[in-house]
Amino acid sequence: MSNISTEDCKDFLVSKFPHSKRALWKRERKYKNDSGDWCRDFSNPDVGNVSLVEVNGILGFFKKAAVSETTNSMLQRVLPVHKIELKSHDIFVKTFTEDDLELASNLVGRFIESGDDPRATAKGFFAVPSQFTYSFTDVNGDESGNLSRANRNLDINTKFNTFNLYLTPIEHDDYDQHLQPLLQQFFPRQCGEEMECVFGFYYDNPISIKDFVIMMSKQGFKYEFDRDDRYDDRCLLKDIMRTFNFVEGQTIEEAFKPVESSTVTQETTEQDSVTISKPTLVTTIDLFCNIVKDDNAVALEKAIADGLDLSFMINRISMHSYCLNNDLHKCFKVLVQHTKNLAVGHNGEANTVWRDAILFTDDSEFNYIQYLLEHANYDFTKESYLANAAFVYFLHSIDKLEEKFDKLNEMYAACICYANAISNEDFYNNEFVKKQVRKALFDYADFSNSDMNVAIALTNDVIISEVLDVMIEKGDVCIAGKTLRVYLTMVVDRFKHGFWGYDEIERKDNIVYYENALKKIGGI
């Protein structure tokens, strides 16, 4: 892990750009390059975008690989080829191809008519926002006054911790049921559906109205002015929304493309061709989907050589998962070959490919699981508990836990086996798993006694007798700070009071079961 902080990076940037304001430097991304060095992308409105690389604890500027001529010609639409200068009220609204719009319309239609939740990997899914309009409302009335004040003052920079939106499917404007299963992939995690068609967005640090509108627009959601009369009693920012200049395009470069002069001399053109460097490849959902849509492994190889970010997520799943779920096995193999450690995902989780490889049910001639086991690079020994849990699930599902156990963090894996076996006889009915449960209880007691995942597992169902016997044998087992005797006494009490929804016969049987366990410990 890097010992250099974001503040250290800002110190470095201010020293190199003394006229820039420290407060305006914003870290956009942190990742590792092909050499395994930590890189960070920063932006500043006065300077632009800057990438730093940390080598042996020393910061320097990181120059990303230029795009090859072949890849550049194929992906020209999605690469920044000129400086974009937006006015204060300019808003980029993402548009999509006719084919994608049709696919997205069909997905929304099936959801509304039959409740069919589309997968994030479905063709046209990323264009779903184009099928919705939105307006600003207030669920609890807490912000109505402040929103109205901002609207009267036409202040696009007023900041709020909370925004509430009413969303309407354009082709089904009488729809009044829930939209969460369809739209949750496009919104931040701190967002949720408050009621039918009404979503709440919550921020620890307030954001401006303009920034919120930018977030919605760059995904393709539209504020439909032609329907404005329907929202007179609903949209609290109607006047502010009229002040924005919404400009549409498939990319921001396309939307704000400057008018080129026809009077440029050949001499100037030649000079420019010498001094202007090739643009850096910018990884986007559109870019990636366009590369792999025909299982074009050659194009993917070239894009990777040009700097494609393999850690980029496609609607909260990895590129590897996307190719697997769409049965793009040639591109899948390329991604696996170029990924240094498939144990690493986002936010401490493992790469989603391990989960999706088990869940993949489509008929395919290609064995994705076997390819992962034989060709992928993965090492979970230094990764999080959460990441190890995903790999334990994967290995147990294919009966390879013992064979690949050396790829796991031994302590985490043992405790994960313990947590999974507590109420699952099928999981526990494996000699290797039984050994790991004993290790968790006897060798890693300090950790397993404080593991909240164990506590959660214990509350889900009745402890199977084999695991309970091992816990009694250990004697000094704790569950979230409570001794085994205290915990079992609490469980008996809950059964006596009718908690957990068991019927009368089951309740009595469980009371007897746990009271007998208490007797083994040393009395009730």
**Per-residue pLDDT tens for 456-467?**
777 666 888 899
**Structural domain includes residue 459:** yes
Q: Which one has a higher pLDDT value, 262 or 337?
A: 337
Judge if 55 and 169 occupy the same domain: no
User: Which of 51, 55, 50, 59 minimizes the C-alpha distance to 36?
Assistant: 55
Confidence of residue 245 (pLDDT cuts 50, 70, 90): confident
Element (H or E) spanning 60, and its range? strand 58-61
Q: Rounded distance, CA 336 to CA 371, Å? A: 9
Least confident range from 73-77, 289-293, 496-500: namely 73-77
Q: Are residues 99 and 240 in the same domain?
A: yes
Question: Which secondary structure element, helix H or strand E, spans residue 69, and what is its range?
Answer: helix 69-74
More confident residue, 297 or 233: 297
Percent of the chain with pLDDT over 70: 85
Whole-angstrom distance, CA of residue 463 vs CA of residue 498: 18
For 326-331, what is the mean pLDDT?
95
Would you say residue 377 has pLDDT above 90? yes
Domain boundary among 232, 255, 278: 255
Average pLDDT over residues 36-47: 82
Q: In this structure, are 173 and 36 located in the same domain?
A: no
Residue type at 271? Answer: Q
Q: 335 with 356: CB under 8 angstroms?
A: no
**Whole-angstrom Cα distance, residue 424 to residue 437?**
12
Is residue 228 pLDDT above 60, yes or no? no
| pLDDT computed for residue 500 by the predictor | 57
- From the list 505, 451, 514, 506, the residue with the least C-alpha distance to 478 is 451
pLDDT at res. 461: 67
Same domain (yes/no): 109, 241: yes
**Is 345 part of a structural domain of the chain?**
no
Is the confidence at residue 6, as pLDDT, over 50? yes
The answer to which of 180-184, 222-226, 513-517 has the lowest mean pLDDT is 222-226
Kind and range of the H or E element at 164? Answer: strand 159-169
Which of 201, 232, 255 is at the close of a domain?
Answer: 255
Average pLDDT for residues 299-309, to the nearest whole number? Answer: 89
Which pair of structure tokens corresponds to residue 165?
């939106």
Q: What value does the mean pLDDT take over residues 222-236?
A: 63
Q: What is the pLDDT of residue 415?
A: 92
**Of 220-234, 265-279, 436-450, which gets the smallest average pLDDT?**
265-279
Residue 455, domain member (yes or no):
yes
Summarize the confidence of residues 87-110 as an average pLDDT.
89
Cα–Cα distance for residue pair 503/397, rounded to 1 Å: 32
248 pairs with which residues across the strands? Answer: 93
| Interval 295-306 mean pLDDT | 91
Task: Please check whether residues 142 and 217 belong to one and the same domain.
Answer: yes
Residue 24, pLDDT score: 83
Which band of pLDDT confidence, cut at 50, 70 and 90, is reported for residue 1? low
pLDDT given for residue 276 in this prediction = 35
52 and 113 fall within a common domain: no
- Give yes or no: residues 36 and 107 share one domain: no
313 lies in some domain:
no
Alpha-carbon gap, residue 350 to 341, rounded angstroms: 10
Q: pLDDT grade, residue 300 (50/70/90)?
A: very high
The overall average pLDDT reported for the chain is 82
Whether this prediction's pTM lies above 0.75 is answered by: no
* Domain ranges, residue 119: 90-255
CA distance 354 to 366: 16
Answer yes or no: is 183 within a domain: yes
Cα–Cα nearest to 409, from 433, 385, 443, 436: 385
Total length of the chain:
524
Structural domains in the chain (count): 3
Checking if the pLDDT of 79 tops 80, the result is: no
Contact 35, 54 (CB under 8 A): no
pLDDT at 278: 40
Q: What residue type is assigned to position 134 of the chain?
A: Y
Q: What integer pLDDT is reported at residue 63 of this predicted model?
A: 60
More confident call, 438 vs 523: 438
For residue 292, the one-letter residue type is V
Handedness of CA 252, 253, 254, 255 (dihedral sign): positive
The encoded tokens of residue 150 equal 């901002």
Q: Is there a single domain that holds both residue 43 and residue 143? A: no
The pLDDT value given to residue 376: 94
Q: Are residues 28 and 169 in the same domain?
A: no
pLDDT tier at 131, thresholds 50, 70, 90: very high
Domain check: are 59 and 94 in the same one?
no
- Asked if residue 12 belongs to a domain, the reply is yes
Which sign, positive or negative, has the C-alpha torsion 434, 439, 445, 448? negative
Q: Which helix (H) or strand (E) covers residue 467, if one does?
A: helix 465-474
Which range of 19-23, 209-213, 250-254, 347-351 scores highest in mean pLDDT? It is: 209-213
**What is the pLDDT at residue 329?**
95
Q: In the structure encoding, which two tokens stand for residue 427, read together?
A: 């999981």
The answer to whether 6 and 53 have CB atoms below 8 angstroms apart is: no
Please give the full DSSP string across 333-391, using - where no structure is assigned.
HHHHHH-S-TT--STTPPPTHHHHHHH--S--SS-HHHHHHHH-----TTS-HHHHHHH
Q: What is the pLDDT of residue 519?
A: 87
The pLDDT of 311-315, averaged and rounded, is: 86
Start-to-end CA distance of the chain, whole Å, equals 49
Asked which of 224, 255, 286 is the last residue of a domain, the reply is 255
Q: Which residue has the higher pLDDT, 83 or 231?
A: 83
With respect to residue 470, please indicate whether it lies within any of the assigned structural domains. Answer: yes
Which pLDDT band, with edges at 50, 70 and 90, does 439 fall under?
A: very high
- Binned at pLDDT 50, 70 and 90, residue 153 comes out as confident
- CA nearest to 343, candidates 402, 406, 296: 406
In-domain check, residue 327 = no
| Maximum average pLDDT range among 112-116, 155-159, 430-434 | 430-434
Give yes or no for a contact between 404 and 397, defined as CB atoms under 8 angstroms apart: no
Q: Tell me the three state secondary structure of residue 18.
A: coil
Select, from the ranges 200-214, 270-284, 390-404, 487-501, the one with the highest average predicted confidence (pLDDT).
390-404
State the alpha helices, DSSP H only, in 200-294.
209-217, 238-243, 252-255, 266-275, 285-292
Regarding whether 101 and 52 lie in a shared domain, the answer is no
Residue 68 pLDDT: 41
Q: What is the mean pLDDT of residues 58-79?
A: 50
Which of 321, 283, 292 shows the shortest CA–CA distance to 119?
321
DSSP secondary structure letter of residue 34? T
**Shared domain check, 57 and 108:** no
Highest mean pLDDT among 85-94, 314-323, 488-497: 314-323
DSSP conformation letters of 400-446: -TTTTGGGS-HHHHHHHHHHHHTT-HHHH-SHHHHHHHHIIIIISHH
- 211 neighbors 86 (Cβ within 8 angstroms): no
